[in-house]
Amino acid sequence: MSRLNGFLHGVRVLDLTRHLPGPLAALLLADMGADVLKIEPPDGDGMRDMGPRRADGRSAYFTAVNAGKTTRRMDLKRLDERAAFLDLVRTADVLIESFRPDVMARLGVGYETLKAVNSRLIYCSLNGFGCTGPLSSRAAHDLNYVALAGALPPVGADGSLPDTPLADCAGGLFAALAIVGALHGRARDGRGCHLDLALADAVVPLQILPLAALGAMGAPAAPGEGLLNGGAASYHVYDTADGRRVTLGAIEVKFWRAFCTAAGRPDWEPRRDDPLPQRALIAEVASMFRALTLARCEQRFGPADCCFAPVLELDEAIASAHTRSRGVVHRTADGDLQPLFPAIVDREPPAPRAPVREE
């Protein structure tokens, strides 16, 4: 067991969540050594029927976000099952649930009830719009939360959307962080607490720079006109001669100077501070890249220390020398790909996750 996988050794977690955000939060706790028992309804987590299937017929999505956990099905509407659940709560450190507000209370296992059973319990509610507010009972999914937070990126001309569920992943990360913080606080004062996290809220801190611009100037930069959203030649995505794409992130003077030197265009260097959007300069840089293949771009700009990188497909990314050397993606004997907890502790990479264990 690596040191990372022992950080939360002895911490017992009850995971009553479904789909991605809550299970991701519990997965991260399990990665740090917590003992996670996933409580599913009698018909199972809906994620079991979503996404691509493995060779054994199981959902690859469900397997991915619940590895390293033990699962148990319980019907909390039954008195005997509820009594058994309360026995689990008595010795638990953390409970995570993702129901709409008041569902747990209607089942007879709301926070106040569980607090009376275990005053040290850290109870985390992770749902769409939180436990309070005008939208608290509304149904939604990741796309809705991102849209309502003003963070939806431009949709492709073909209607394509980003493949990474931003709000769900951010919600899981913030929940895990809040839980670890609450465990540290409880170690000082012995008190549990109720954490109320909304997926719609989790997107907001990710917009710290656009919000800073909004506060300072009254409006964020329009798409394609700001420093970080496509308006600067030094921070842009460019096409290559062979149909690939490359990224340039040479915002600082030293990196832009290194890029201009490698490009053989010293005349571009003083134009770094041209007013935004820098459409003329972008067009010139784009023309240069379109004359080069991806391989030629990497040969010229890779060693130049100018914040240059190719745009990789996912299979290329996990096969890259960097990813392989860091050990943050593990292929199981069944062929599953596990993106592991991305922390190397005392030079030791994270250990692979055990399979889901069904009770």
* Mean pLDDT, 10 residues at a time, the chain of 359 residues: 90 97 98 98 92 90 96 96 98 97 96 98 97 93 91 77 90 98 98 98 95 90 90 97 97 97 98 97 98 98 97 95 94 92 94 92
Which two three-digit tokens encode residue 138? 């509304």
pTM for the full predicted model: 0.93
> Which value, to the nearest 10 degrees, does the dihedral of the CA atoms of residues 260, 266, 269, 271 take?
-120
Cis ω on the peptide bond leading into residue 277 (within 30° of 0)?
Answer: yes
* The domain over range 235-311 is classified in CATH as 3.30.450.40: no
CB 338 within 8 A of CB 329: yes
Q: Single out the catalytic residue among 168, 196, 201, 336.
A: 168
Q: Give the model's pLDDT for residue 134.
A: 95
Q: Active site includes 141? A: yes
Q: In the chain, what is the greatest distance between 2 CA atoms, to the nearest angstrom?
A: 78
CA 173 to chain CA centroid, Å, is: 6
Q: Single out the catalytic residue among 35, 141, 194, 274.
A: 141
Q: Give the model's pLDDT for residue 157.
A: 67
Q: Give the model's pLDDT for residue 233.
A: 98
Indicate the DSSP class of residue 125: E
Q: Give the model's pLDDT for residue 56.
A: 87
Q: Active site includes 168? A: yes
**CA–CA gap between residue 5 and residue 350 (Å, rounded):** 7
Hey, do 4-206 and 235-311 end up sharing a CATH topology, with the first three levels equal? no
The residue extents of the domains of the chain are 4-206, 235-311
**Which residue in 81, 129, 77 sits closest to 104, CA to CA?**
77
Domain 4-206, what fold? Rossmann fold (3.40.50)
